């Protein structure tokens, strides 16, 4: 298995999930923080795990750009994982819809399931301006990602790997 785990993490939430996925993978693997390196090697990969925080119901812009910059028809399977501060599906499902649209346009193989979990929300004041009724729900994310979230990320990684092996 040749795998790349790329992620962007402003708060550390997505990084924790990326590390759990990376630790689960056997074989050749890379773990790359997109805030430090924008163009990791994608040659001869079987799978690319792309981790993004959900920002205003979308992929974080560096993660979106990474996906858009992949070559058309790349053979590697793309598996998306996200962290989100608001535990309301419409907030995080938009990121996966965005990834699906980009992958379809570029003829990329997208694993048909999103892994997502809560992560401590760092932008409560901004959220309060746009969705004041969702602030209390966002505050429930303060203890995430937790051990159960990390275990679920490992299970997700195993499902992805089994699907392409």
How confident is the model over 30-40, as pLDDT tens digits? 999 999 976 78
Q: Say what the pLDDT of residue 70 is.
A: 96
Output the pLDDT for position 107.
97
Distance between CA 23 and CA 101 in Å, rounded?
29
φ and ψ at residue 46, rounded to 5 degrees: -90, -35
**Average pLDDT taken over every residue of the chain:** 90
**Of 120, 141, 88, 89, nearest to 13 (Cα)?**
120
* pLDDT bucket at 121, cuts 50 / 70 / 90: low
Inter-axis angle of helices 13-24 and 147-164, to 10 degrees?
Answer: 50
Single pTM value for the model: 0.90
Q: Quick one: pLDDT at residue 118?
A: 84
Q: Is the per-residue pLDDT at 136 higher than 80?
A: no
Split at pLDDT 50, 70, 90, the class of 133 is: confident
Domains and CATH numbers, the chain: 2-164 (3.40.50.360)
Q: Tokens 């907030």 sit at which residue?
A: 91
pLDDT (average), residues 68-72:
96
Interval 99-113 mean pLDDT: 96
- Classify each residue of 17-55 as buried b or exposed e, where b means 16 or more C-beta atoms within 10 Å of its C-beta: bbbbbbebbeeebbbbbbeeeeebebeebbbbbbbbbbb
Closest to 12 measured CA to CA, from 114, 125, 150, 132:
150
Confidence of residue 142 (pLDDT cuts 50, 70, 90): confident
Q: Tell me, rounded to whole angstroms, the distance of Cα 140 from its chain centroid.
A: 20
If pLDDT is split at 50, 70 and 90, which confidence band does 58 have?
very high
Mean pLDDT across the stretch 95-115? 95
CB atoms closer than 10 angstroms to residue 69: 11
Query: Which tens digits make up the pLDDT trace of 74-92?
Result: 999 999 999 987 777 887 8
């Amino acid at each position: 298995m040749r795998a790349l785990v790329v992620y962007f993490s402003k708060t550390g939430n997505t990084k924790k999930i990326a590390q759990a996925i990376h630790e689960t993978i056997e074989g050749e693997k890379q773990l790359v923080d997109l805030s430090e390196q924008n163009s990791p090697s994608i040659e001869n990969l079987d799978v690319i795990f792309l981790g993004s925080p959900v920002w205003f119901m979308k992929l974080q812009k560096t993660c979106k750009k990474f996906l858009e910059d992949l070559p058309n028809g790349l053979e590697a399977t793309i598996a998306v994982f996200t962290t989100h501060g608001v535990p309301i599906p419409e907030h995080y499902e938009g990121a996966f819809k965005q990834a699906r649209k980009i992958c379809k346009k570029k003829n990329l193989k997208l694993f048909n399931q999103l892994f997502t979990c809560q992560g401590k929300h760092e932008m409560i004041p901004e959220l309060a301006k746009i969705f004041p009724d969702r602030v209390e729900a966002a505050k429930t994310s303060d203890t995430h990602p937790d051990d159960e979230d990390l275990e679920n990320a490992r299970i997700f990684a195993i499902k992805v790997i089994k699907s392409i092996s």
